[in-house]
Structure 1
């Protein structure tokens, strides 16, 4: 009877909360009490406080290092669990540490690691009758808005310390207490790039990872997402949230767009390295926004438009390079859309970010989400096109668009190499080999296309799915050639420091593995199909950092 009576009180309490009144006697009688304490830098463990009282500090720049939370709810089947995002460790639930509960310590003691975010949940049969609200004071942010029931509160991924916290339990549907809020909503948690590749293409990708929408909107586009100009505007900017990454030295961004006549897009990125300020606190050192140039199918598209140099990083035509052998570990992108006429908008359907760490022994592992059968791979019947029999004035410079043309023709889109060449031409660098310009050109035919830093397994996965792959290689065709390059026996070029070819399959003969290639440098269409020893190909591909065009 006592429990039933108390549950009836909860309904009344909820009405009181919604009306802005909560008698103290009723709080004591009907709502479970939460108590908590924090371990504070220099101060150690504070005393327990209860029901919305601040634990920690505000204005003293001291980090929280640990927290303990427990309930006083003898009349309810109710428990509390929590986890924190810890410097150098991450979310506890993603490690062997796991969720904490009912007074256990979350965080560390004696390691001087800051707490960066927290999640709290209620458990038990009566958990549905209550909400647990929590609010944190974060470095550089102040008091964030209230989070509840497992939401992230804090700045996970930004390396900002938590300094104080309020926790309160209210009847289901009630409101948290009024009080100081410097940021009206809980801060957006930074997501991490899995391995070395991130692809943003769905509506949720663009919506969930946005930091700013300036005269642009996210619209459904044939089942996927699309960034486009708002009605009545001729320019706008989409700015992504910041993404955590493995340490990298190079980044290539690529994009799939639709650019009607008179429209263009400009893709930019900025990168960050962690640093330590004069007080020993972690801080962020950001580059300027660096431009991959302006792209459109009806303009003189060009790299080198916009900022291309910054103290931390620079642009090398189609590649963002961190300077002086340093590494960055965060990246953010933005897309500038422009139209020459109201009512006509470019759309951006895909942004891909490919990362590479060129420092010895620091490569970034590739992450795959499935485990397909990669045995007995077919050799794909990719049309054979030689660049050398095309327009003589450009024939020796169009390996990249010729490779793209072979792949488009394989998918049933009849495109000549010269058409692809001028469709992807970089008028700023005066070259046909700009990597994201070539994949953007392929995407203009409705294909999904992007640039990747891949692996042999990645190539086999593409072949298994029925997709040829273009890759960049550097080689010489004999040990007698003086160039300091890997040898590829039987290659049509005496030596090349940069060349695009198409991977069509794999085979093995007499214990030797081979890769089946369409090499556009062959003297005739009939000579394009060749096979190279896999070990020799692997060395030649590595010279480019394993650059790959993925076109589906």
Structure 2
């Protein structure tokens, strides 16, 4: 088993110790040493979810010729910490460390090999700058043990059945004195060119050469060279072919190390090898692994398809899944690490922060995943993966800007529990954190008074027993789910109305109308869209006589508008729960109080008078449920009705629009979407 930690954001290193270095904007890197200065970063003690007996550290940095970087590591075995092991030195040349060996283990070129298994590690990066600043961009550590399944995971077709287009190269087209030794830089040069960095193979080889022993296959030196070329790269150990498939599906070719004996890799240009690096470019429909093998005598003969079982044995079993993970900077999924953070319209903080800030599109909770799109300074434009919105071509994540310091550079971890109280406190050895209702966690152990859980950065701690609820593997029985939804919505009553709000922690805790409904549903194990308009679009329409507690009631912006801008929750009888902007809080009301007529007199799509503002206004009312039918049938029925309703709302004069009118309508729709981000 293996575990890899990558530090790329200020949130990633917040628990570490910085001495003499300065944080830099996320767009530029992580930490910098000023000219003619030195400093270091010492990571926190990082527990590993699996015991390990080897460690490989890697980095990306911008190092002028007169700068120096040293990376060291240490491990914890049976409660005792080892001395620091120097793992690498980088100047204008790269050098593996001199031999180091003690009771804990030894350093072998690029790998710290342990005598006994460890359960935690730390790394240290020292930077010395010359005339210009030296910048650490990224640090990574991967740990593993020898445990590996004898067979690969069963293959199932998916988006990894593809072949990325790399230009093949052969190491045997290079000078004779190096051609047997440069499989790693040859494979790396193919991947670099795929990402737009075209360099001669020999030049790449010289840039990764180990000054200590003259080899070209030092793993961290190869990824450091990719980082110096403007890409992002680190050494990882992948646990299975499934993880390798995910890289290919994401459009990223991977350099891997393999080892095999005679007759153990059918079709390979080498009969046997203790260690050889190839570029994985795809998978066949049958599960075969498509590679460009640099040991082929000619570039045109480099494409090979290796048997899945043979490749698994050569890569995952013999080489512990070693991989160079290379790609464009800051494009992998990230995880919210702050208790809550704003998803904003623009990459800047508000000049007038407050509950009514119109540039707050939504709020993201600890543990939620985002897909980064671009970086500007310390801000990241993202798609909020757990906030689906309709974008014209289907559904995608809510788009907006998030502070980079609130994000971890890691995939969201699996979760099976959710905070069910309005607010809870997560307590760990290194401190505590307040978490909002709806925050997801991994459940580790239920004890007499508390629950041991794991938070997004992998650290474990406790929350009070009554504040967390396990998430069901499937959907709960309808009656139980409805009961939970009403109970949790009731906990939000009295909360401040916050534009775009869906968090009970942070500088402006509170909820908007759709925040109240989405959080309540999440605790019940039912995920619904973030905004009122999408909640209506995804729900199934129903007549008010069929309403049950937990069903939703939607209001359009006006009598003539088809755009839903507000959602309320049915509590039973004539009662409603809602977060109302005009009231400034979440409250309980009735149909009669809000509309001057009881529920029994209403129908789906009817005009009603909204009496909640000083000046009553006419709006259309709709009713929806997330229970009783599949999402596909709900969406189809709702789409059909929405089309009809949109035409009727425009009146009898509605006609097909000209291109210019269509453009104007799109602009109006965009404004509607802006106004409905929080609801009214």
The TM-score, its normalising length taken from structure 1, stands at: 0.56
Deviation string 1:127-157 (CA, Å, 9 cap, x unpaired) is xxxxxxxxxxxxxxxxxxxxxxxxxxxxxxx
Partner SS state of residue 220, structure 1: coil
Q: Which residue of 2 aligns with 1:502?
A: 279
Q: 2: distance between equivalents of 1:448 and 1:464?
A: 18
Partner SS state of residue 203, structure 1: coil
Partner SS state of residue 100, structure 2: coil
Following TM superposition, by how much is the alpha carbon of 1:477 offset from its aligned partner in structure 2, in angstroms? 4.8
**Which of 23, 26, 39 matches 1:236?**
39
Shift of the 204–445 alpha-carbon distance from structure 1 to 2, 3 Å rule, reads: same
8 Å contact kept, 1:386–1:402: yes
8 Å contact kept, 1:338–1:346: yes
Q: Which residue of 1 aligns with 2:113?
A: 321
Deviation string 1:191-231 (CA, Å, 9 cap, x unpaired) is xxx9611110012212x121x22211222141x641111x4
Following TM superposition, by how much is the alpha carbon of 1:355 offset from its aligned partner in structure 2, in angstroms? 1.1
Partner SS state of residue 249, structure 1: strand
Following TM superposition, by how much is the alpha carbon of 1:417 offset from its aligned partner in structure 2, in angstroms? 1.2
Q: 1: distance between equivalents of 2:162 and 2:217?
A: 29
Q: Which residue of 1 aligns with 2:235?
A: 451
8 Å contact kept, 1:199–1:351: yes
Q: 1: distance between equivalents of 2:104 and 2:77?
A: 8
Deviation string 1:155-189 (CA, Å, 9 cap, x unpaired) is xxxxxxxxxxxxxxxxxxxxxxxxxxxxxxxxxxx
Following TM superposition, by how much is the alpha carbon of 1:399 offset from its aligned partner in structure 2, in angstroms? 0.2
After TM superposition, the structure 1 = structure 2 runs for residues 145-544 of structure 1, keeping only pairs within 5 Å, are 196-206=3-13, 208-210=14-16, 212-222=17-27, 225-229=29-33, 231=34, 233-245=36-48, 246-274=50-78, 284-296=79-91, 299-305=92-98, 308-323=100-115, 326-341=116-131, 344-358=132-146, 374-375=158-159, 377-454=161-238, 455-478=240-263, 487-509=264-286, 513-541=287-315, 542-544=317-319
Shift of the 225–444 alpha-carbon distance from structure 1 to 2, 3 Å rule, reads: closer
Shift of the 373–338 alpha-carbon distance from structure 1 to 2, 3 Å rule, reads: farther
Q: 1: distance between equivalents of 2:270 and 2:199?
A: 25
8 Å contact kept, 2:2–2:237: no
Deviation string 1:12-33 (CA, Å, 9 cap, x unpaired) is xxxxxxxxxxxxxxxxxxxxxx
Partner SS state of residue 199, structure 2: coil
Q: 1: distance between equivalents of 2:304 and 2:241?
A: 18
8 Å contact kept, 2:35–2:130: no
Deviation string 1:1-20 (CA, Å, 9 cap, x unpaired) is xxxxxxxxxxxxxxxxxxxx
Q: 2: distance between equivalents of 1:409 and 1:294?
A: 27
Q: Where does structure 1 lack aligned partners over 5 or more consecutive residues?
A: 1-193, 275-283, 367-371, 479-486
Q: 2: distance between equivalents of 1:392 and 1:418?
A: 11
Partner SS state of residue 39, structure 2: strand
Partner SS state of residue 285, structure 2: strand
Following TM superposition, by how much is the alpha carbon of 1:377 offset from its aligned partner in structure 2, in angstroms? 2.2
8 Å contact kept, 1:354–1:452: yes
Q: 2: distance between equivalents of 1:425 and 1:529?
A: 26
Partner SS state of residue 205, structure 1: coil
Q: 1: distance between equivalents of 2:296 and 2:157?
A: 32
8 Å contact kept, 1:215–1:233: no
8 Å contact kept, 1:250–1:358: no
Q: Where does structure 2 lack aligned partners over 5 or more consecutive residues?
A: 328-680
Following TM superposition, by how much is the alpha carbon of 1:345 offset from its aligned partner in structure 2, in angstroms? 2.1
Query: How big is the alpha-carbon RMSD for the aligned residues of Structure 1 and Structure 2?
Result: 2.5
Deviation string 1:397-444 (CA, Å, 9 cap, x unpaired) is 000000100000111111111111110001113200000000000111
Report how many residues are paired.
322
8 Å contact kept, 1:477–1:490: no
Following TM superposition, by how much is the alpha carbon of 1:394 offset from its aligned partner in structure 2, in angstroms? 0.3
Shift of the 462–360 alpha-carbon distance from structure 1 to 2, 3 Å rule, reads: closer
Q: 2: distance between equivalents of 1:215 and 1:376?
A: 45
Partner SS state of residue 11, structure 2: helix
The TM-score, its normalising length taken from structure 2, stands at: 0.45
Shift of the 221–260 alpha-carbon distance from structure 1 to 2, 3 Å rule, reads: farther
Following TM superposition, by how much is the alpha carbon of 1:475 offset from its aligned partner in structure 2, in angstroms? 1.9
Following TM superposition, by how much is the alpha carbon of 1:353 offset from its aligned partner in structure 2, in angstroms? 1.1
Shift of the 262–474 alpha-carbon distance from structure 1 to 2, 3 Å rule, reads: same
